[in-house]
């Protein structure tokens, strides 16, 4: 008996790994170089977690967040709770 993941989960893992590599890693330097400011409404802040992680987040242009949202929706991981 194999102790690995089922093929469906392995494919999902590989898909998410590729998205992070292709889409997120290239934005990391810019994100970390532009810290958000407490109490300031940041149009480039991520949606949904800004309040929970105040002061720990960087800022990206809104177009970058829109692209990441589109990628996550197009690949079917937008609503995944894995």
Q: Which residues contact 50 (CB under 8 A, 6 or more apart)?
A: 36, 42, 57
Residue 11 confidence (pLDDT): 92
pLDDT tens over the chain, length 82 residues: 567 999 999 999 999 999 999 999 999 998 888 876 655 555 655 555 555 555 556 788 889 988 998 999 998 888 766 5
Residue 2 confidence (pLDDT): 63
Which residues partner with 58 through β-bridges?
35
Which residues partner with 35 through β-bridges?
58
* Cα gap 28→46, rounded to integer Å: 13
Q: Report if pTM > 0.75.
A: no
Q: Which residues contact 64 (CB under 8 A, 6 or more apart)?
A: 27, 30, 44
Per DSSP, the three-state class of 24 is helix
């Amino acid at each position: 008996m194999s102790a690995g993941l089922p093929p469906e989960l392995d494919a999902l893992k590989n898909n998410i790994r590729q998205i992070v590599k292709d889409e997120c890693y290239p934005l990391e330097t810019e994100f970390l170089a532009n810290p958000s400011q407490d109490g300031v409404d940041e149009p480039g802040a991520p949606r949904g977690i800004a309040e929970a992680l105040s002061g720990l987040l960087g800022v990206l242009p809104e177009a970058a967040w829109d692209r990441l949202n589109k990628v996550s929706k197009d690949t079917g991981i937008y609503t995944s709770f894995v």
